[in-house]
Amino acid sequence: MLLFNLISQIFHPKLLIEQSSIVTMLIITASFFLILLILGVRKSYKLKAENERLSEKKSSESDEDNKTYKDFTEGHLYDNH
């Protein structure tokens, strides 16, 4: 018992960092990374929705491009020699 008291007095006179400050720093760090994670997931869903919207727009434009070609050189601005 005497040895235990001696060791506890040597290593426990004053801690450099309190346990409550460690917990507070861990909570702040975890909150920061949680916010980053939430923002990343939100951005991912927005990009996915925009990608789907652009894919639909491109497919509708390609349908319009597949229509028959009209010769626009028949107008009066072009010389047809």
> Please, are residues 80 and 73 in contact by the beta-carbon 8 Å criterion?
yes
pLDDT 10s digits, 42-55: 999 999 999 999 98
CA–CA gap between residue 45 and residue 53 (Å, rounded): 12
Is this prediction's pTM over 0.75? no
Q: Enumerate the H helices of the chain as residue ranges.
A: 2-11, 19-65
Q: Residue 41's pLDDT band (boundaries 50, 70, 90)?
A: very high
Residue 56 structure tokens: 């639909």
Domain residue limits, the chain: 28-58
* Cα distances (angstroms) measured from residue 10 to each of 2, 3, 16: 12, 11, 14
Average pLDDT over residues 1-10: 67
Mean pLDDT, the chain, rounded, equals: 79
